[in-house]
Amino acid sequence: MKTNTNTPPIDFSDFLKVDIRVGKIIAVNDFPKARKPAYQLQIDFGPTIGIKKTSAQITARYQAADLLHTHVLAVVNFPPKQIANFMSEVLVLGLSDEQGDIVLLRPDADDIPLGSRMH
């Protein structure tokens, strides 16, 4: 099978270093100081990881009220990153649609325990 990417291959052990967890969005706020339209999110990853903050450029496809209490996948072991006047602690995962707008990666079941790790 031929792969058609411009990224170099990695070992499976490298992939395992990326800690991807499920969390529930518990707060959504506009982020007017961001360069591109974005929300500030608070995500609950359960008792072990707790509540983390991030910003996400997802305003084109999602209304703030529709995001509340939805589950998302996020990388939780990147170092925090300063974005304008906000410290982002996790990276919410998504894919670009044909217009370049982000579509969130989300589990299709809501009964997965918060903080569960992707395998």
* Domain layout of the chain by residue ranges: 17-104
- Domain boundaries 17-104, corresponding CATH code: 2.40.50.140
For the whole prediction, is pTM greater than 0.85? Answer: yes
The span from the CA of 85 to the CA of 28, in Å, is 16
Write the Ramachandran bin of 111: left for phi over 0, alpha for psi from -120 to 50, otherwise beta: alpha
What digits encode the pLDDT tens for the residues 50-101? 999 999 999 999 999 999 999 999 999 999 999 999 999 999 999 999 999 9
